[in-house]
Amino acid sequence: MKQDLKTIILDEDQNGDKGKDRGNLLDSFATKKWINWSLGIFLLLFLFVTSRYNYLLFHTLAEFFSITVAFSLFVIVWNSRHLTDNNAFVFLGVAYLFVGSIDLVHTLSYKGLGVISPEWGANPATQLWIAARFMESITLCLFPLLFFKKLRFNIIMGTYFAITALVFITVFHWKIFPDCFVEGAGLTYFKKVSEYVICTILLAAFILLRSKKKDLDQTVYRLMAFSIALTIIGELAFTFYISVYGISNLSGHYFKVISFFLIYLALVRSSLKRPYEILFRELDRSEKKFKSFFDKMINGAALHEMICDEHGKPVDYRFLNVNAAFEKLTGLKGKDLIGKKVLTVLPNTEKTWIETYGNVALTGHSIQFTNYSQELEKHFEVSAYCPNPGQFVTVFSDITERKNAAMEKDRLISELQKAANEINTLRGILPICSHCKQIRDDKGYWNQIEAYIENNSDVDFSHSICPECAQKYYPDMDLYEEEGKPLP
């Protein structure tokens, strides 16, 4: 996901396709919504017709629907638990797995079905019903209290498994579970009180759910609130039936079927639809944020696709997207580049550029360098990295002025150094003897004037005799003409 986001930011065409996919996915959720409601209404009508024909068949079908929903809840939330940030929904799904398990045994042990011995009567099925409803109501009460809590599901599953096993043992093996139905007398006092206690727990669950309303998607909240309300009404209906085939039992199962169906819709939305909606909303926000960042970058940036020959050697690359800074720095327009090869747009592009970028796109190694583009007559400082195999992104800045300034600086320094080497002048006051004309150096020694100058400058001396000295010191030698020029 992380890697794809980089490409989405830079590739508007791909972004458009993904947007269509998201729309199609969300549309499919909306389509499934009315299909679910249609199927629910059809199921209720079918169950009503079945109840008029054979109550035992109606009860079996109604219970199996509830059991299927309970198991489906577990499968959905368990396999989508990484999509939700609220583990309370996963807790709910785990709990309904065991509620459905008790309901399954309740259905198979129902009077008249013939799965267990007739001598057991209707009592075991009624006992299991009460146990399942206690487990369901307590679960719904705990659900709001576990919002955004860190849960250890191995412990939760182990606890529910132990409770479920204990229920089966106390009903069928130890036979110590309180009686709930007596043939000919109807419901026991324990059964009726238990139903009222269950209703009280469900009412507490409703109040707790309402207190967490702001933490839930409003549709999810309404579905769960209606489910709890219908469960309460159904439990009240189960408090005054005398026959397990009576109208009170019938209406109670109707309310149970509807409540389970609403729970199913709530968990499907919270575990599948809403996480995707949130994910897409966050993704859209991130895309806009990073797309804006991409377009407003000071540095030029571009996404490319490398093109290789039959031997896998990089020979060209194609422009996929460029930002505004790219256009400003290169003088090229994105509309003239997108989808085109670099050698088509800039035919004189040096092979070194293609080879360098090819190494990045094919190996995934990032690189940073400076280079001169003869095609654009500019110097660039470039960073390149690989967002996807076969692609590369370049982020660059124009350093032509800086490069030219540096070159000009080097040239001036070189010329000044050369001039400094050629020019070595004597400056200041030289102490010179008034008679012999020797010069005193900075160490206090007296030197012949030509020796001092030779040591402190680039001047060399060649000795000769001036006309005055020639006449004075060599009167017998005629070394100069009358004009003072030396004789040839």
386-402 tens-digit pLDDT: 988 899 988 887 777 77
Give the Cα separation of 281 and 266 in Å (integer): 20
Same domain, 171 and 72: yes
Q: Are residues 241 and 341 in the same domain?
A: no
Residue 133 lies in a domain: yes
188 and 42 together in one domain: yes
Name the token pair of 337: 């580049």
Claim to verify: residue 168 and residue 243 sit in the same structural domain: yes
Inside any domain, residue 434: yes
Using only C-alpha atoms, what is the Rg of the chain? 48
Pairing between β-strand 367-373 and β-strand 314-322 as defined by DSSP bridges? unpaired
CA 5 to CA 38: how far, in whole Å? Answer: 38
Answer yes or no: do 236 and 347 share one domain.
no
Does 253 or 107 have the greater pLDDT score?
Answer: 107
- For the chain, percent helix, then strand, then coil, each to nearest 5? 60, 10, 25
For the ranges 9-13, 18-22, 226-230, 271-275, the maximum mean pLDDT occurs at 226-230
Q: Are residues 264 and 306 in the same domain?
A: no
Residue 308: which CATH number? Answer: 3.30.450.20
Residues 49 and 179 in one domain: yes
Looking up residue 145, the CATH number of its domain turns out to be: 1.20.1070
Q: Does the residue 408 lie in any domain?
A: no
Domain ends where: 253, 285, 317? 285
In a domain, residue 275? The reply is yes
The whole-angstrom separation of Cα 189 and Cα 195 is 10
Residue 12 counted as domain residue: no
Angstrom distances, CA of residue 437 to CA of 342, 447, 449, 469: 78, 9, 7, 16
pTM: 0.55
Whether 109 and 115 have beta carbons less than 8 Å apart is answered as yes
**How many folded domains does the chain comprise?**
3
Same domain, 250 and 358: no
Specify the amino acid at residue 171: V
User: H or E element: which one contains 89?
Assistant: helix 88-108
CA angle 25, 271, 157 (to 5 degrees): 150
Residue 65 lies in a domain: yes
- Lowest-confidence range among 351-355, 369-373, 415-419? 415-419
CA separation, residue 258 to residues 329, 430, 440 (Å): 65, 118, 120
Dump strand ranges (E) for 314-448: 314-322, 367-373, 378-385, 391-398, 439-440, 446-447
Q: Is residue 415 part of a domain?
A: no
pLDDT value for 285: 58
**309 and 276 housed in the same domain:** no
pLDDT of residue 16: 47
The encoded tokens of residue 66 equal 């509830």
472 assigned to some structural domain: yes
For residues 275 and 347, membership in a common domain is answered with no
pLDDT at 9 over 70: no
248 vs 235: CA distance, rounded Å: 10
* Most confident residue range from 47-51, 172-176, 346-350: 172-176
Cα–Cα distance between 146 and 156 in angstroms, integer? 12
- Of 285, 315, 342, which one is at a domain's C-terminal end? 285
Nearest-angstrom CA–CA distance, 364 and 357: 10
59 phi, psi to nearest 5 deg: -60, -45
Helix (H) or strand (E) holding 307: strand 300-308
Domain coverage including residue 60: 25-285
Dihedral of alpha carbons 444, 446, 448, 451, sign: negative
Residue 366 to residue 374: CA distance in whole angstroms: 24
State phi, psi for 147 to the nearest 5 degrees. -55, 130
Least confident of 48-62, 139-153, 335-349, 445-459: 445-459
Statement to judge: residues 103 and 217 lie in one domain: yes
Are residue 237 and residue 384 in the same domain, yes or no?
no
CA dist., res. 31 & res. 110, Å (int):
37
82-132 pLDDT, tens digit each? 777 788 989 999 999 999 999 999 999 988 887 877 778 889 999 999 999
Q: Which of 134-138, 183-187, 218-222, 242-246 has the lowest mean pLDDT?
A: 242-246
State which of 258, 285, 312 marks the end of a domain: 285
Average pLDDT of the chain to the nearest whole number: 79
Query: Which residue in 357, 291, 284 sits closest to 10, CA to CA?
Result: 291
Q: Which pLDDT belongs to residue 13?
A: 42
